[in-house]
Amino acid sequence: MKIGFIGAGHIGSNAARLFVKAGHSVALSNSRGPESLSELVSELGNNAQAVSVEEAIEFGDIVFVSIPLGHINEIPTKGFDGKIVIDTNNYYPQRDGNIVELDSGETTSSELLEKRLPGARIVKAFNTIWFEHLRTQGDTSLPPERRRAIFVAGDDRQAKDVVAKLIDEIGFAAVDTGSLQEGGKRQQTDSPIYNKDLTAVEAAKALKVVA
């Protein structure tokens, strides 16, 4: 599978490493331009390339968005129709500035991205795990129920299934929190499951308590 990256910081770069290791091809982009990613691409090998944001969108069967939420309106709106978009963003007002719709609970950050990218199939994932844990805790030798949980939310069942398979391939367990609205709220930074080191079994129990 081909995965385009918008953003190659801590979460993006570590996810790219894991996806390449699992046999996928990645195209990485950021706000500083392809030349700033040469060292990372060299490390990742032949299944990685550095490109522009527009080229990453065109390249990907899946597009992995991992940039500060305050910059989502800088993402091009074209080229996403029908594509799965993995949204790793979190809302930090001290970094992103206050966003009225989020402060009021009217919507979620993923729904804001969905509004920005009409036609995209948004799946919220990879936003509740510390990048060091993402780098080190995947273990394909463990049965799914004993693996570290990565939470997913979305309104498109098939898109969530595709992302869940990716998560399984890199040694984690996908745990579904529900829709972009309700499931997205369950994954927010003030939620009981945010940045918690939980196995799939523990995560399922935690979500029952939350619900």
What's the number of CA atoms in the CB half-sphere (13 Å) around residue 60? 31
Per-residue pLDDT tens digits for 60-105: 999 999 999 999 999 999 999 999 999 999 999 999 999 998 989 8
Q: How far is CA 8 from CA 81, 97, 147, 203, in A?
A: 23, 22, 25, 27
Segment 32-57 shows an average pLDDT of 97
* pLDDT score of 190: 87
Q: What band does 182 get if pLDDT is binned at 50, 70 and 90?
A: very high
Segment 155-167 shows an average pLDDT of 98
Q: How far is CA 104 from CA 59, 99, 156, in A?
A: 36, 9, 25
- What's the pTM? 0.95
Three-state SS across the chain? CEEEEECCCHHHHHHHHHHHHCCCEEEEECCCCHHHHHHHHHHHCCCEEECCHHHHHHHCCEEEECCCHHHHHHCCCCCCCCCEEEECCCCCHHHHCCCHHHHCCCCCHHHHHHHHCCCCEEEEECCCCCHHHHHHCCCCCCCHHHCEEEEEEECCHHHHHHHHHHHHHCCCEEEEEECCCHHHHHCCCCCCCCCCCCEHHHHHHHHHHHC
Backbone angles phi and psi of 178, in degrees to 5: 115, -150
Rg (CA), the chain: 16
Sheet holding 62-65, edge to edge: 48-50, 25-29, 2-6, 62-65, 84-87, 121-125, 149-154, 173-178
* pLDDT score of 145: 94
Whether 139 shows a pLDDT value over 70: the answer reads yes
Nearest CA among 33, 40, 37, 39 for reference residue 17:
40
Segment 159-184 shows an average pLDDT of 97
| Amino acid letter for position 154 | G
Mean pLDDT of the chain: 95
109 touches 164 (CB < 8 A): no
* pLDDT score of 209: 63
Whether 7 shows a pLDDT value over 90: the answer reads yes
Whether 211 shows a pLDDT value over 70: the answer reads no
Per-residue pLDDT tens digits for 185-208: 999 998 889 999 999 999 999 888
* pLDDT score of 210: 57
